[in-house]
Structure 1
Amino acid sequence: MTTSREAATYPFPARCPFQPHEEFAWRRANAPVAPVTLARGGEGWLVTRFADVRTVLADERFSRRPVRDAAVGRQRGPAPAFDFGASIAEPEQHARWRRLTAQVFNVRQAEAMRPRVAAIVDDLLDDLAAADHPDLMDALAFPLPLRVLLALFDVPDDLRGGFLEWATALRASGASMTAFAEAMNALHASVRELVARGRGIVGDLLAAKHDDGEPCSPELAVSTMMLMTVAGYETVATQLGNGFLALFQHPGQWDRLRAGEVGVEPAVEEILRYAQAGTGFAGLTYPTSDVTIGDTTIPAGDAVFISIDSAGRDADQVSDPDRFDLARGAARHHLSFGFGAHFCMGAPLARVELQEALGRTVRRFPGLRPAFAVDAPEMTANRFTRYPRTLPVGW
């Protein structure tokens, strides 16, 4: 597709967290699959419409193997400790792995965790209430997913230190992929030992069998637990922080939730659609052959960026998409957990955590208010998402 507009440098400059750059809207209307020049050098393609982003997510001709291989290469030491899922990145191996892990990580298992998640949230809210300077990021957003993972994996006391050190290192790594790789390398020993002991859900995973009867190998179990750990920690923490920030910026929506006019389930789905603040790199993938989307052909091997943020603001998918309205929240309005074969394995548990955290917070602190300027929050970022550095609150 050709356009009258010169290819813009990507990622586009960050705006107020949930106000996407106007370039996204222009591209959805005029050049939904079109080239971009990368700020770090090189070129690629950017996909911005909901339907096209969903197509890329579901099309097995797109592979993240080069991304995972690059992450392996950033690890220091004589040999990489963790392959970042490279061994299961190709469609056939990935499908086989997902069929295996679905026996253990699924909606039923996530709902079984709900009472435990609720108890963890209540404990954290007790600490928040007692804090001299209450901050939702430090008191709830980051501790919650880590404590849920420790409970889910039944991590014994002598291995918890490794997970805690990893979480601290990961949060400090910011947008550095090298620091991220080093943090994951440091976690590897604790996860290997956890798998060796085979407790709880780890034992269930080791007992699961592939379609051909072959059992899950310890090596595959380690990779699975590593992937679940990083996805289950950062995704929930950053989304929870962004969700509260969006609510603080729209106090009328908080009032509707507090009054019971809106249920917590649709509220979470609208937060997942609206409260995205991506860095632009979360959806990097590469076609293994020439792929045509609409009337645009992307050559094999080119870098392709999909924008989940832009997809969530597509007027063809949801009316008045720049309006934050908890009541209209629905899973069909966003692609925050992916789509198709690569739909996030931890999505059911993430939803449970977000629902329990939001619902219990609004009930415990109906008068919760921000203790900062909501129109100019201090933001930070990891590799894929921008989120509030702090969320000081009062009531």
Structure 2
Amino acid sequence: MTAASATPALPTTRPAGCPFDPPGSYGELRETEPVSRVRCPAGMDAWLVTRYQDVRAVLADRALSSRGASSVHVNPNADLDEEVSPGSIIQLDGAEHSRLRKKVIAEFTVRRVEALRGYVQELVESHLDAMLAKPGQADLVADFALPIPSLVICELLGVPYADRSRFQRQSGLLVSTDATPEEGKQAYDELSALMAELFTDKRRNPRDDLFSRLISRGESDGDPLSTEELVVLGLSLLVAGHETTANMIALSALVLMEQPAQRDVVLARPERAVEELLRYLSVVQFGVLRYATSDVEVGGRAVKAGEWLVAALNSANRDEELFPGGDKLDFDRESPRTHVAFGFGAHQCVGQQLARVELQEALTRLFRRVPGLRLSVPRESLAFKHNTLVYGVRELPVAWG
């Protein structure tokens, strides 16, 4: 392994004054060294993969394990040898992963998600009513972007309303690289206990929700999920189901406040606009980690068994070879849906259709109801989430009228 002093650090710093762009070195790396050695905050060296085609190849290769896919490479306190928990749909590989994914994927089909669109619309409108009842100013994160996807995923999964604010608070600690090991463990333990109680209740009192159906389906097909599997799976779906979408809503709104001419395109063609925003913003900011279980070749580089790779999604989504003028938001772009914002391959995000519906409804209804929406503070004063696995803005003070 390359000595730490001779290996450059994993790029994590965005260009000054360009909060929507990935680290500036990614463009040069794609041209000169698309598969390069970097030193990660967790203390190990890895191959950083920056070109679109190479990133897709990495994510599709079954020889590259997903066991570190919770981005442990950016956590200084990471245990790289920690055993993957049963039920971890993000980290398990092979037959174990396929078993879990088959149980869950039916809940996120286009048809089932479309059936939720009316609920999403009502939720968006009610939050806009509450926001507009304020005296001309609000925090678009706390008042709009954060609660909507949280309430949607909790409704889908069957989390009681009384537990939802507690879930939001603790899940934020799970995706922060600044949280101490003690804070992270406390958040995980509290959410795990909440999940265990929830599943005990649903076994006794099944309802019309995803968790109840998972339990019922497992009992009927002779392949029930254990409580431990359900808890870990539930936490994965809950955290993934609201963190990425909440940050996408807020960042997208900020982009559109800075480029008001683009709002008409969003209102007229929301599906296409959302795909381009997903590509442009790529909120999973530190990439996706993979572990080589055998010798492979990536972008002409020999990767040996036992080595790590970081697939830089935000770099792949700016690759000029596939996305000409990739650093520009372009709603007329050809084939914007080829982006890798949701990953690729066997571990591609199961909830991507739900995220699309939430983004479409949130953005179109926001700018239709509040056409004069504007930032009420200088952009330079905003605090961005440079230290969380999912990029976003902590607060977004807005005004109207």
Q: Report the TM-score when normalising by structure 2.
A: 0.85
Q: What is the letter of the counterpart of residue 274 of structure 2?
A: V
Letter matched to residue 28 of structure 1? R
Paired residue for 2:279? 273
Letter in 2 for 1:318: F
Which residue does 1:145 correspond to in 2?
A: 149
Superposition pairs for residues 148-297 of structure 1, below 5 Å? 148-157=152-161, 160-161=162-163, 163-171=164-172, 174-176=176-178, 178=181, 179-198=183-202, 199-201=207-209, 202-209=211-218, 213-258=222-267, 260=268, 263-280=269-286, 282-297=287-302
- Long gaps (5+) in structure 1: 1-5
Query: Which residue identity does 1:144 align to in structure 2?
Result: I
- SS of 2:108's partner is coil
- Helix, strand or coil: the match of 1:325? coil
TM-superposed deviation, 1:354: 0.9
Name the amino acid aligned to 1:134: A
Kept after mapping to 2: 8 A contact 1:61/1:288: yes
2:26 aligned with 1:24: yes
Select 1:63's aligned residue among 59, 62, 65: 65
Residues 196 and 212 (structure 1 numbering): CA distance in 2 closer, same or farther, change over 3 Å?
Answer: closer
Residue 312 (structure 1) aligned with residue 328 (structure 2): no
Q: Distance in 1 between matches of 2:246 and 2:308?
A: 28
Give the % identical residues: 34
Determine if contact 1:145/1:353 at 8 Å carries over to the other structure: yes
Give the match for residue 391 of structure 1. 396
Q: TM (normalized to structure 1)?
A: 0.86
In the TM superposition, residue 61 of structure 1 has moved relative to its aligned partner by 1.2
Q: Distance in 1 between matches of 2:200 and 2:108?
A: 19
SS across alignment from 1:147: helix
Which residue does the alignment assign to 2:3?
A: none
Point out where structure 2 has 5 or more consecutive residues left out of the alignment: 1-5
Residue 13 (1) aligns with residue 13 (2): yes
What displacement does 1:41 show?
Answer: 3.9
Q: Secondary structure at the match of 2:392?
A: strand
Is 2:115 the counterpart of 1:112?
A: yes
Change (3 A) 1:208 1:191: same
Alignment CA distance shift 1:96-1:83 (3 Å): closer
Change (3 A) 1:200 1:329: farther
Q: Could you say what secondary structure the match of 2:107 adopts?
A: coil
Q: Which amino acid is 2:249 matched to?
A: L
Aligned equivalents of 2:272 and 2:20: distance in 1?
Answer: 19
The range that moved more, 313-322 or 88-97, is 88-97
Secondary structure of 2:193's counterpart equals helix
Alpha-carbon offset, residue 142 of structure 1: 0.8
Matched residue SS, 2:385? strand
CA distance in 2 between partners of 1:345 and 1:277 (Å): 17
Instruction: Report the alpha carbon displacement of residue 211 of structure 1 after superposing the two structures with TM.
Output: 12
2-side partners of 1:329 and 1:193: how far apart? Answer: 48
User: Within 1, Cα distance between the matches of 2:398 and 2:213?
Assistant: 41
Cα distance change on mapping 1:112 and 1:239 into 2, 3 Å: same
Distance in 1 of aligned mates of 2:321 and 2:220: 40
2:192–2:232 CA contact under 8 A, matched in 1:
no
Counterpart residue identity of residue 265, structure 1:
E
Contact 1:276-1:309 at 8 Å conserved across structures: yes
Q: CA deviation at 1:235?
A: 1.0
Do the aligned partners of residues 211 and 386 (structure 1) sit closer, same or farther apart at CA in structure 2, a change above 3 Å counting? Answer: same
Number of residue-to-residue matches in the alignment? 379
Per the TM alignment, residue 349 of structure 1 is displaced from its structure 2 partner at its CA by: 0.9
CA RMSD of aligned residues (A): 3.0
Residue 127 (structure 1) aligned to one of 121, 125, 130: 130
Instruction: State which drifts further: 213-222 or 123-132.
Output: 213-222
Who is 1:50 aligned against? 52
CA-to-aligned-CA distance 1:148-198 (integer Å, 9 cap, x gap): 1222123335xx23x321312333563236334432321112222222232
